[in-house]
């Protein structure tokens, strides 16, 4: 893989990661059509995702810092409660326990954790299937058609009002399931999770924020699993290609996050549904013509 190819894939990732058109599907299509050998497979794609993850952190840096702070405070409170438990058993006392979830950001942390559980389970079970699915145009084509249907459903979602306090753990679980299956190339992660949030009654702006912030642990987790192969893959593809792809994805992703926020507010996902349907059909035609 050349530097130019890595840059092109990075730009493609930055554009399609946040637009509801499936970044993994477009990467698979580009790699198939132009015969690009990333020499790293899933690793290179997760490396590009790391670039767009950086863009999310920069856009939502205040929320990101508050979530990290809330998580640390929760860990401290849990450790404190364990100490109180054993101290009470030893001394016969009745010291009051610390309340674990006493702020909106602490609840937001728990919601994201709940979302990540089904995502991680689905990802681990289907990881081999997902990686092989990128090797043909058939699967991305079918999945893009599924994305089109999902986006059309978002148009029918009632105007929601739920933010952190009113969002339930069941809502978080269902969004996590949607995020897990969105790992298939052609199923848009942002489109699927935002649509799930809208159908569950989330406020439109919060649905976007939730979708993007909830993706961070899943993407970082995938990178932790795949980075063990970084030495071999980067050596064969060139470390420079990985770095260039990462930077391109981060810069372009930053620009397109703003666009998606405005699109969700204006309820214009249907246009991307038509686009996904058209690209999906073209992929299937090319697949069958090639044999």
Predicted confidence (pLDDT) per residue in 251-263, tens digit: 999 998 888 888 8
Residue 86 lies inside a defined structural domain of this protein: no
* SS3 state of residue 271: helix
Cα distances (Å, whole numbers) of residue 176 to 13, 100, 111, 118, 212? 22, 22, 10, 5, 12
Q: In angstroms, rounded to a whole number, what is the distance separating the alpha carbons of residues 188 and 145?
A: 11
Give 232-286 pLDDT, tens digit per residue. Answer: 555 555 677 788 888 999 999 999 888 888 888 777 788 889 999 998 999 899 8
- Is the residue at 19 inside a domain? yes
44 lies in some domain: yes
Specify which residues 162 forms β-bridges with. 202
- Give the separation between CA 32 and CA 279, rounded to whole angstroms: 14
286 in a domain, yes or no? yes
Question: What pTM value is reported for the model?
Answer: 0.83
In this structure, is residue 100 part of a structural domain?
Answer: no
Residue 235 lies in a domain: yes
pLDDT at 281: 94
Q: Tell me what the mean pLDDT of segment 31-58 comes to.
A: 74
**pLDDT tens digits along 67-102:** 999 999 999 999 999 999 998 888 887 888 999 999
pLDDT attached to residue 41: 53
Contact 265, 203 (CB under 8 A): no
pLDDT at 231 over 60: no
Domain of 153 in residue numbering reads as 3-77+108-290
| pLDDT-derived band at 10, boundaries 50, 70, 90 | confident
Q: What is the number of domains present in the chain? A: 1
Predicted local confidence at residue 227, as pLDDT: 62
Contact 269, 263 (CB under 8 A): yes
Mean pLDDT of 105-123: 94
């Amino acid at each position: 893989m050349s530097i130019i190819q890595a840059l092109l894939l990075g730009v493609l990732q930055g554009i399609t990661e946040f637009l509801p058109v499936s970044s993994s599907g477009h990467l698979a299509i580009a790699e198939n059509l132009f015969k690009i050998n990333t020499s790293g497979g899933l690793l290179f794609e997760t490396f590009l995702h790391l670039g767009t993850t950086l863009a999310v952190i920069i856009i939502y840096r205040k929320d990101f810092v508050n979530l990290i702070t809330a998580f640390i405070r929760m860990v401290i409170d849990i450790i404190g409660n364990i100490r109180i438990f054993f101290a009470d058993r030893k001394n016969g006392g009745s010291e009051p326990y610390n309340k674990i979830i006493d702020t909106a950001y602490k609840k937001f942390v728990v919601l994201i954790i709940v979302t990540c559980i089904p995502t991680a389970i689905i990802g681990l079970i289907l990881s081999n299937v997902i990686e092989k699915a990128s090797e043909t145009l058939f699967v991305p084509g079918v999945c893009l058609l599924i994305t089109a249907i999902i986006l059309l459903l978002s148009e029918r979602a009632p105007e929601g009002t739920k933010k952190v306090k009113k969002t339930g753990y069941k809502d978080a679980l269902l969004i996590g399931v949607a995020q897990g299956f969105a790992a298939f190339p052609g199923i848009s992660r942002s489109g699927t999770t935002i649509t799930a949030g809208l159908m569950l009654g989330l406020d439109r702006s919060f649905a976007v924020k939730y979708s993007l912030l909830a993706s961070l642990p899943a993407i970082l987790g995938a990178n932790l699993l795949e980075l063990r192969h970084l030495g071999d893959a980067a050596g064969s593809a060139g470390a420079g290609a990985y770095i260039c792809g990462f930077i391109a994805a981060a810069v372009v992703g930053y620009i397109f996050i703003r666009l998606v926020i405005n699109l969700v507010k204006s309820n214009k996902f249907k246009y991307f549904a038509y686009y996904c349907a058209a690209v999906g059909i073209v992929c299937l035609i090319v697949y069958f013509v090639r044999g």
